[in-house]
């Protein structure tokens, strides 16, 4: 399953860090963060609860960029 989320991030480097952290999150198969469009595309592993995984993604992203926001 693939989903797209609106994000709020201050710089391209922070967006790259968010992408790396998202890809490391259990339940995420792949992720792309686009700073120009302020969107995050996430592909989930089969059978996972996307909302639950995204809560972990949010926590991981906040560790690298405290001001970032992911709108679920």
What is the domain-level CATH number for residue 7?
Answer: 3.30.70.100
Model pLDDT, residue 32: 98
CB atoms under 10 Å from CB of 7, counted, come to 21
Given a contact cutoff of 8 angstroms between Cβ atoms, the answer to whether 30 and 12 are in contact is no
Domain boundaries, position 61: 2-71
User: Which pTM value belongs to this model?
Assistant: 0.94
Q: From CA 56, how far away is CA 17, in angstroms rounded?
A: 15
Tens digits of residue pLDDT in 31-44: 999 999 999 999 99
Count of domains in the chain?
1
3-class SS at 36? coil
Share of the chain above pLDDT 90, in %: 94
CB-based contact 17:41 (threshold 8 Å)? no
Q: Which helix (H) or strand (E) holds 43?
A: strand 39-44
């Amino acid at each position: 399953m693939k989903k797209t989320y609106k994000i709020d991030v201050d710089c391209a480097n922070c967006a790259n860090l968010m992408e790396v952290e998202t890809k490391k999150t259990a339940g995420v198969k792949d992720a792309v963060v686009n700073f120009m469009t302020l969107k995050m595309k996430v592909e989930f592993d089969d059978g996972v609860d996307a909302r639950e995984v995204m809560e972990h993604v949010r926590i991981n992203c906040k560790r690298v960029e405290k001001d970032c926001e992911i709108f679920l």
